[in-house]
Structure 1
Amino acid sequence: MNNKIQIARLLRKNQTKAEKKLWSHLRNRKLKNLKFRRQHPIKSYIVDFFCVEYGIIIELDGEYHKQINQAEKDRRRDIHLQSLGYKILRFENRMVFENVDIVFQYIIAAKEKQESYASERKEHLKKHSENTKKHLTPSLTLSRGSSITVLSTKILSPSQKELFLHSGLGLVEYNALDIEFLDVPIPNNFQNYIFTSKNAVKAFLKYSKKLDMSECNAFCVGEKTKAVLEENGLKIIATTENALDLGDFIIKKHQNEKFLFLCGNLRREELPNILSKNNVRYTEVKIYKTHLIPRRFDRVFNGILFFSPSGIKSYIQENSISKSLAFCIGNTTATEAKKYTDQIIIANKPTIENLLVQAIKYFKKHD
């Protein structure tokens, strides 16, 4: 019998009190019909709880995990598992006894974030793909004879993936980034809001449910950001393709007003600089955090799809771009890519679909 399976069985018989308590809530699909396994082997690890369908891993940490050496081991392990597409949730043991409802909330939120994982898993199971042996890290193509393979630094939606795969090109995808929404106080004395990403909008909507959205004026970057804002009742004052253009618009049309700028921890300096330089009053709130998830690839891809400067920073930590063609969703992303390569193609419009079309057209033309 596999040694890992033997160890897992032994651990199941010797659960901690916190593990027994949480298992009583998870077993038999008691939480949102999610099926969890306990003490489950994945790669070289054994995780406390694992939801196969959505790729959710739950770890319960006692005092031992607070030791410096163990904390570093946990961090490296989490990075590896995240690079395979899994969502890692870590809780101190006491949370299970003192705030188990909060634990449930995190699990349910993780399920929503892993919808693309679940869809992809169903697709793989249906096709009996060999890639299921690699824990759903996809390497797909509808044309087995294609020698061209493109890497996407984010997991694509089923419709986006279908668009790409029907071209006959090979596709490998993974998430180079993980987004964490921050539950921070959001001032309620503003009428004008600046959004430079969909993530900022999603975090804002999650933690501002008491606000009257019809009273909020939105200044945003990107058509998809605008679409999410409109769906939720905000009034769109301006939409531009990049932050610099948005700053110029604010200076020319609304310089004497005050703004709340909702952003992430890795936001760029261009917009704050131009607002400060022109004495525009604004308050900045970091409402989400971007975590880099570096992953090493022992191969060279014909092309790499980049969707943000942060995605490039994540990829470059373990790999080189120099021998691949970099497809960038916009000029800001391309500026970051130029630090490492001069082989760059920029999407005509800053959308994922347009970026995919650019890659398909290029390789069809040069195949």
Structure 2
Amino acid sequence: MNVLLLKEPRESDSGPDPYIKELARYGLSATLIPVLSFKFVSLTALSDRVFQPEKHGGLIFTSPRAVEAVKMCIENSALREEWNTVKEKWNAKSVYVVGKATASLVESLGLNPQGEHTGTADVLSRLIVEREDPKILPLLFPCGTLKREVLPTTLRENGLPLEAVTVYQTVDHPDLEINITHYFSKQGIPASIAFFSPSGVKFCLELLKRLVGPQLDQIKFAAIGPTTADALEAEGLRVSCLAEKPTSQHLAKSVVQALNTGPSDW
């Protein structure tokens, strides 16, 4: 059976995407179509803050793209050679992350991530509230234009200072419609379609409805997490597969369970 993954390719170019590899272990043929494109903004402002850890109480990353923005600041800065000293100052504070993918990228910068097990910004925000004192300096939060407000709101309601810096804009991938249309013309309707962000739902759903028509109900829709599941359900779609955690293993398990149980709930 075929599975369509509407997500970004893995950050590393080495080897197959872990989601394709994991689904193949169960005999499923997965195809990945990139959904999103990103434009980085305000990198000068971000760089100023990244190289002044003494003005902040810690760092928060909820997306790989935010980490990429920081990496660009480090590589392009005249202060690049000072990063080894600067990163230790950040490591003396808390560097919070959501998910293993983001944590891995943070580690590649020489930083020590905390909270990768949380899985969502909602759970991470509660962890931060438990650990941090309201008297700390503002937590630096590089983020995108489409960030959810749950984390800023939770921290604000609990008196924790936060400095959010918008460092990237999210738009649909320029080849998205061509790639999805080509997939359906060659592969037909997949048994399952997995979404990895609310933005993916926003950019893909109308096209999928046009291509699939009344057979849309036959597809098992999968979500990498509760936020994406909420976006699908808001569009009137039934989520058959919800990954317990945002990993390839958990998503593959949920897809396999849903496909093996037919139309009934699993």
Q: TM-score surpassing 0.5?
A: yes
1:355 aligns with 2:251: yes
Scaled by the length of structure 1, the TM-score of the pair is 0.54
Q: Pick the aligned partner of 1:287 from 167, 189, 193.
A: 167
Q: Pick the aligned partner of 1:225 from 102, 119, 122.
A: 102
1:303 Cα offset (Å): 0.9
Deviations 1:144-182, CA, capped at 9 Å, x for gaps: xxxx32211026551533443454434333111112333
Aligned twin of 1:21: none
1:335 aligns with 2:230: yes
Between structures 1 and 2, the one with greater helix share: 2
Q: Which has the larger radius of gyration?
A: 1
Higher RCO, Cα 8 Å, sep 6+ = 2
Aligned twin of 2:120: 242
Q: Sort the Cα spacing of 1:155 and 1:185 in 2 relative to 1 into closer, same or farther, 3 A.
A: closer
**Partners of 1:154 and 1:173 within 8 A in 2:** yes
SS state at 1:319 partner: helix
Aligned twin of 2:7: 154
**Partners of 1:215 and 1:235 within 8 A in 2:** no
Deviations 1:318-344, CA, capped at 9 Å, x for gaps: 223544211111111111111121233
Aligned twin of 1:208: 74
Q: Sort the Cα spacing of 1:201 and 1:180 in 2 relative to 1 into closer, same or farther, 3 A.
A: same
The count of aligned residue pairs is 220
Q: Sort the Cα spacing of 1:162 and 1:221 in 2 relative to 1 into closer, same or farther, 3 A.
A: closer
Work out the CA distance in 2 between the residues paired with 1:159 and 1:253: 34
Q: Which runs of 5+ in 2 are unaligned?
A: 11-15, 210-215
Aligned twin of 1:58: none
**Partners of 2:98 and 2:120 within 8 A in 1:** yes
Q: Pick the aligned partner of 2:155 from 272, 275, 285.
A: 275
Scaled by the length of structure 2, the TM-score of the pair is 0.72
1:177 aligns with 2:36: yes
Work out the CA distance in 2 between the residues paired with 1:261 and 1:330: 21
Work out the CA distance in 2 between the residues paired with 1:342 and 1:260: 37
1:357 Cα offset (Å): 3.5
Work out the CA distance in 2 between the residues paired with 1:170 and 1:223: 24
Deviations 1:237-262, CA, capped at 9 Å, x for gaps: 44422111222222232132221111
SS state at 2:208 partner: coil
Percent identity (aligned): 26
Structural RMSD (CA): 2.5
Aligned twin of 1:43: none
Aligned twin of 1:314: 203
1:305 aligns with 2:165: no
Q: Sort the Cα spacing of 1:202 and 1:314 in 2 relative to 1 into closer, same or farther, 3 A.
A: same
1:285 Cα offset (Å): 0.6
Deviations 1:194-251, CA, capped at 9 Å, x for gaps: 1111111121122135441121131111123223223322233444221112222222
Aligned twin of 2:62: 196
| Partner amino acid, structure 2, of 1:194 | I
Work out the CA distance in 1 between the residues paired with 2:22 and 2:230: 27
Work out the CA distance in 2 between the residues paired with 1:159 and 1:271: 29
Q: Sort the Cα spacing of 1:317 and 1:207 in 2 relative to 1 into closer, same or farther, 3 A.
A: farther
Q: Sort the Cα spacing of 1:191 and 1:214 in 2 relative to 1 into closer, same or farther, 3 A.
A: farther
Moved more, 283-292 or 151-160: 151-160
1:350 Cα offset (Å): 0.9
**Partners of 1:324 and 1:343 within 8 A in 2:** no
Work out the CA distance in 2 between the residues paired with 1:249 and 1:307: 23
| Partner amino acid, structure 2, of 1:201 | V
